[in-house]
Amino acid sequence: MDERDFEGTLVLEQLAAIGRIEDFFDAIDSDDVRRAVSLMKKAGVDAHTIAIVVRKMEDSDGGH
């Protein structure tokens, strides 16, 4: 998957499987990249997808 094809639903499904969607959104809302990455790793999200999510967080620059 590349960034053009990125679909956040898969990330959310993996986070839902471990019951951490709310925590993930809290991390996103507070621009806590470290916490978001940690949660995605716990959910089994692959490194490439994590990098896309981090890039999108950084690109949003508070505008999400």
pTM confidence score: 0.84
29 has a pLDDT exceeding 90: yes
Three-state SS sequence of the chain:
CCHHHCCHHHHHHHHHHCCCHHHHHHHHHCCCHHHHHHHHHHCCCCHHHHHHHHHHHHHHCCCC
Looking at residue 64, what is its pLDDT? 46
When pLDDT is cut at 50, 70 and 90, the band that residue 8 belongs to is confident
d(C-alpha 47, C-alpha 45), whole Å: 7
63 has a pLDDT exceeding 60: no
How many Cβ atoms from other residues are within 10 Å of residue 21's Cβ? 17
What average pLDDT does this structure show over 15-28? 96
pLDDT digits 0-9 by tens, 43-58: 999 999 999 999 998 8
